[in-house]
Structure 1
Amino acid sequence: MMHLEEITAAVELGRADDRETARTQLTALWEACDDRQTRCAIAHYLADVQDETEDELSWDLRALEDVEDDGWLPSLHLNLADDYRRLSQTRLAEEHLSAARAHLSGLPDGAYGDLVRSGVEHVAEAIAAGSVRRLETNPSS
């Protein structure tokens, strides 16, 4: 059984800028897990501790493959939109941004919902500006 404490501890390592250890621990947890929704969450966090956009995209796609809870869709599609934007794949970025917007109504009020909604606007502005730089609001920053 996967322990939430182990996942949380690894995520906190990433937030404390020990990205390599966080990647190692989260990868081991992901490989040991057979629950799709937990794998989705771990992949979502693994994307945030990658150094290269291509690797981030790979983990974001894995998260989307395992999603079972529609509440994750706005954030997952937002991350994919941003990945594709940074890789200069504007059409795919716009498709995922549109998908993120389509699921915004399911977000709760409060900090998490506000974070995702503002992220959609930041990515939309960056796409419109033709920017491929990592946004300061990106969790991988």
Structure 2
Amino acid sequence: MTTAPSHPTDPTMNAIGQAVAEAREGDVAAARRKLLSLWSGIGVTGDPLHRCTLAHHLADLYEDPAQALAWDIRALDAAGAVTDQRVQQHHAALHIAGFFPSLHLNLADDFRRLGSFEAAAEHLNAAEESAPALPRDGYGALLRTAIRQVAEAVAQRDTAKRDTAPGRTA
């Protein structure tokens, strides 16, 4: 799932984007606090695009795969309620189908790191099945490569953190 350009009339997406940028600049703890504060305002019944985006990015801010898993599950759950119309209100070129490969990949990697290889394989299958929705660009190639890497790690029963995993830093 990419971080799409912010929409000037959506302050929540702008705030999520700012927190993600802060994490990428190295202040993971502050970014996590900001995202958790935003989550408190959005709540479990709030706008599903906001919930999906926030949970997806917040999961990357946890080193512990169990904590990441909780947020990745929230992201996938919220994505199921997002429509293309809602996504395109944020960015005209996006389609919700393009979110699912990344969401399932993250869950597969969380389960793999926890040693739950059967659950990891199920989400890998879902990531592979939804991969045709990925763009034919660098982002799509990155995710396709990550799907292969996680599949190899699952086959080897490897629970180590991947060097190429997103964020996931304490």
Unaligned runs of 5+ in 1: none
* Cα deviation code 1:69-113 (max 9, x no counterpart): 222110000000000000000000000000000000011111211
Distance (whole Å) between structure 2 residues aligned to residue 2 and residue 127 of structure 1: 39
Question: What residue number does 1:100 align with?
Answer: 127
Give the count of matched residue pairs.
141
SS in structure 2 at match of 1:42? helix
Q: Is the 8 A contact 1:44 1:76 kept in 2?
A: yes
Distance (whole Å) between structure 2 residues aligned to residue 64 and residue 2 of structure 1: 22
Amino acid at match of 2:56: H
Report deviation, 1:35: 0.9
Question: What residue number does 1:77 align with?
Answer: 104
Question: What residue number does 1:109 align with?
Answer: 136
- Corresponding position: 1:54 with 2:66: yes
Distance (whole Å) between structure 2 residues aligned to residue 15 and residue 31 of structure 1: 22
Farther-moved stretch of structure 1 (70-79 vs 28-37): 28-37
Greater helix percent: which structure?
1
Identical amino acids, percent of aligned pairs: 40
Q: Which has the higher contact order (CA 8 A, sep 6+)?
A: 2
- Corresponding position: 1:127 with 2:154: yes
SS in structure 1 at match of 2:15? helix
Question: What residue number does 1:35 align with?
Answer: 47
| Alignment TM-score, normalising by the size of structure 1 | 0.94
Please list every run of at least 4 consecutive aligned residues from structure 1 whose deviation after the TM superposition is greater than 6 angstroms.
none
Unaligned runs of 5+ in 2: 1-9, 83-95
Amino acid at match of 1:47: A
Q: Is the 8 A contact 1:19 1:50 kept in 2?
A: no
RMSD value, Cα: 1.2
Amino acid at match of 1:41: T
Question: What residue number does 2:21 align with?
Answer: 12
Report deviation, 1:55: 0.4
Q: 1:45 aligns with which of 57, 64, 67?
A: 57
* Cα deviation code 1:10-32 (max 9, x no counterpart): 00121222111111101112222
Bigger Cα Rg: 2
- Corresponding position: 1:2 with 2:14: no
| Alignment TM-score, normalising by the size of structure 2 | 0.79
Question: What residue number does 2:77 align with?
Answer: 65
